[in-house]
Structure formats: structure tokens, C-alpha cells
């Protein structure tokens, strides 16, 4: 073989195997935003793009064919655009809006290819037609009916689990049966059904994310880099910037701000605001005094003031000392006292002591 002869380009099968290995290699990297993940992601995207380009050149798929016309070995090539869309959505370097547009185009190309071969189920075909009629507003869930949203979520979750179980079961088929064309074809078709299910879910998420991006404010232009701060000595030597380390303003600034100078003009008009004070002694008394409040009157003065305001009431209490002697000439008062004493004696005779307590008697 001549060494100058160019190497034979890799086959489509080898390219697809390389792309799948690059895609599976991303599962070993934990952080999607890391540099290593993004570099491997870009490598996988380029590999799938090369596969799609070579597929178009070889014209493997034709719109005049049906699903039965596709050989089992060519069924994996139907998933190239799906995996390309999945990888494009994980790009964190390119503009998010551009990434979503590219992923949406890849998903649409995948669904269009399946629709050409009538490989979409009835439910998926209805979803695809609904998506084509409203790409910008496409949603799997109802925006007005909560019950319908819940039922749709449950139904699609069950469908996804059933497809995963079916694919897992078929993948565990013994190697002898995997060499069978019918068994391999069934595995590929199950994988295509699962990928189609995930495609509509991805298109729903892309539509929601595009709407959020449209609501985001436009990014402000890059700010001009700030000039480095000048040296302190340069600032002190440059009075134009108004900077100074002094806490008290200079006299020139006070004069400029009318802190000094005449209060009234020659015509008697005020030139600046001012406050009228009674005397200098008042200012001095306000400065040189204790920090606590001093009394302003004596206790006697306070009591006199309270009495004058009505705060102290005189009278209303019997004077202390011996009781006043009865007036012998007041016969009416004497008769009233005698009758009161007789009534009390009669009450005591009728109600002896302890007669009312009848509950505690033995």
C-alpha cells in the first residue's frame, strides 16, 4: 500500500459507534458546566453531525419507502437527529437562544423522518400535527384545566416507564437471540418509541424556556473599564476633583456656600437663612449646665399649684379624735336611737347565734 495514498474515510457504522461512545462517555463526568464536560460534549456533537452529513450523502432514507423497506441495520441511523438534539440542549457555552433553536431543528428533523415512514403512533402523530400548527405555543399539558394536566402527566409517566421496561427486557435477551434480525429490529423499534416520547417532552421544555428568554430584559452593553484610582498625593494636589482629607471645610468653601458674610443687604433684604436668638447669655446657659433635668419649684410650691388646679380635694373625712357627745336636748334623735336598739334586741332573741348554720350540725 502506498503511504502517500489518502486513508479511507470511516464508514457510517464506525462514525455512529464513535459518536455513541462519546455520548456515553459524558455520563462519567459529574459537572455538566465543567470544561472537560463541554469539550467532550462538543466532540460528540461534531461526531453526530458528521454522521448526519454522511447519511444524507449516502441517501440511506428515501421518502418513497416505508418502514418495512428499512433494514434492521439502518434503524439506528434514524436516531442521529434525536441524540444530536439531546446533546445540543446541554451546551452551556453558546448563546442559550441559539442552542435551543438548533436543538429544536434537530428534533423536528427527527420527527419529520419518522412521519415520512409512518412510524409514529396515532397519539404521537396527533401531537406532531399539533406541534406543527403551533410551534411557539406547543405544550403537552393544558394551561386551563388542572385535572387534564394531572391526567396527562400520569399517562405520559406510565407510558415512559412501560417503554423503559420493554427496552430493558429486550436488552437482556440472550446473545444467540440478538443475532436474530427480528429480535434486533424489535429492540431498535422500542428505542425509537422511547426517543419519540422524550422528543415531545423536550420540545415542550424548549417552548417554555424560549418564552422565559423572551421575557428577560436585554443585556446592558459592556461597561467601560474604570480608570485606576489616582494616588492620594495626586488627589490632594488636584483641587478640581473636590477631594480632601480635611474633616472641616476650608474658609473659601464656607464663603462660597454663604456660611459667612452679611445676613442682610443694604436694602434690608435677607441674603441667607438665619435664626433670631434673644441673647448670648441664653446660649451660654444652654451650654454650661448639667446633663440632667433640674427641679424648677419646691415641694410646697408644687402642692400649692396642684391645689390651685384642683388636684387636691379637702374634706370628706371624719376628723380624728373622740366622737362627739350626744345632744341631750335632741329628743327626736334620742327616740330614734332607742327604737334602733330595741329592734336589734328583738332580732337577736329571734335569731340566736348559730341558728343559721344548719348544714354542719351533727
CB of 236 within 8 A of CB of 246? Answer: no
CB of 65 within 8 A of CB of 117? Answer: yes
Q: Kindly report the length of the chain.
A: 362
How far, in Å, CA of 58 to CA of 252, rounded? 88
How confident is the model at residue 311, as a pLDDT? 84
pTM: 0.55
Q: At a CB cut-off of 8 Å and minimum separation 6, what does 221 contact?
A: none
- Per-residue pLDDT tens over the stretch 94-152: 888 899 999 999 999 999 999 998 888 888 888 899 888 888 778 887 666 777 778 77
Which has the closest alpha carbon to 61: 53, 73, 52, 70?
A: 70
How confident is the model at residue 5, as a pLDDT? 44
How far, in Å, CA of 109 to CA of 101, rounded? 12
Q: How far is CA 356 from CA 50, 100, 341, 351, 353, in A?
A: 117, 100, 22, 8, 8
Q: How far is CA 262 from the centre of its chain?
A: 60
Cell of 44: 460528540
How confident is the model at residue 1, as a pLDDT? 41
How far, in Å, CA of 158 to CA of 164, rounded? 10
- pLDDT values of the chain reduced to their tens digit, one per residue, 362 residues: 444 444 556 788 888 888 888 888 888 888 888 888 888 899 999 999 999 999 888 888 888 888 888 888 888 899 999 999 999 998 888 888 899 999 999 999 999 999 998 888 888 888 899 888 888 778 887 666 777 778 777 887 887 788 778 777 766 665 555 567 777 888 888 888 889 999 999 998 898 888 888 888 766 555 455 555 555 545 555 555 555 666 666 656 655 655 556 777 888 788 777 666 667 777 777 777 777 777 888 999 999 998 888 888 776 555 555 666 667 778 888 889 999 999 999 998 888 887 776 666 65
Amino acid at each position: 500500500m502506498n503511504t502517500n495514498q489518502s486513508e479511507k474515510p470511516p464508514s457510517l457504522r464506525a462514525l455512529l459507534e464513535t459518536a455513541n461512545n462519546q455520548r456515553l462517555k459524558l455520563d462519567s463526568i459529574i459537572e455538566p458546566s465543567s470544561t472537560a464536560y463541554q469539550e467532550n460534549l462538543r466532540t460528540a456533537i461534531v461526531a453526530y453531525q458528521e454522521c448526519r452529513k454522511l447519511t444524507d450523502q449516502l441517501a440511506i432514507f428515501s421518502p418513497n419507502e416505508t418502514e418495512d423497506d428499512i433494514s434492521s441495520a439502518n434503524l439506528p441511523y434514524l436516531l442521529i437527529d434525536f441524540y444530536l438534539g439531546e446533546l445540543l440542549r446541554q451546551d452551556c457555552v453558546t448563546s442559550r437562544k441559539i442552542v435551543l433553536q438548533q436543538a429544536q431543528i434537530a428534533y423536528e428533523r427527527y420527527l419529520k423522518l419518522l412521519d415520512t415512514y409512518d412510524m409514529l403512533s396515532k397519539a404521537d402523530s396527533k401531537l406532531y400535527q399539533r406541534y406543527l400548527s403551533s410551534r411557539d405555543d406547543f405544550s403537552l399539558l393544558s394551561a386551563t384545566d388542572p385535572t387534564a394536566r394531572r391526567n396527562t402527566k400520569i399517562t405520559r409517566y406510565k407510558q415512559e416507564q412501560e417503554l423503559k421496561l420493554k427496552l430493558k427486557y429486550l436488552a437482556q435477551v440472550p446473545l444467540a437471540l440478538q443475532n436474530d434480525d427480528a429480535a434486533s429490529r424489535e429492540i431498535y423499534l422500542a428505542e425509537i418509541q422511547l426517543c419519540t416520547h422524550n422528543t415531545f417532552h423536550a420540545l415542550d421544555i424548549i417552548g417554555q424556556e424560549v418564552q422565559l428568554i423572551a421575557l428577560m430584559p436585554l443585556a446592558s452593553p459592556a461597561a467601560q473599564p474604570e480608570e485606576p484610582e489616582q494616588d492620594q498625593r495626586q488627589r490632594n494636589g488636584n483641587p478640581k476633583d473636590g477631594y480632601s482629607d480635611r474633616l472641616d471645610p476650608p474658609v473659601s468653601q464656607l464663603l462660597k456656600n454663604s456660611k459667612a458674610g452679611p445676613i442682610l443687604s443694604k436694602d434690608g433684604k435677607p441674603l441667607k437663612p438665619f435664626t433670631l436668638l434673644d441673647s448670648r447669655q441664653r446660649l451660654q446657659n444652654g451650654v454650661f449646665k448639667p446633663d440632667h433635668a433640674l427641679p424648677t419649684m419646691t415641694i410646697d410650691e408644687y402642692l400649692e399649684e396642684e391645689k390651685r388646679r384642683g388636684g387636691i380635694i379637702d374634706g370628706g373625712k371624719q376628723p380624728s379624735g373622740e366622737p362627739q357627745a350626744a345632744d341631750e336636748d335632741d329628743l327626736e334623735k334620742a327616740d330614734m336611737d332607742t327604737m334602733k336598739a330595741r329592734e336589734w334586741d328583738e332580732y337577736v332573741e329571734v335569731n340566736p347565734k348559730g341558728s343559721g348554720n344548719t348544714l354542719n350540725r351533727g
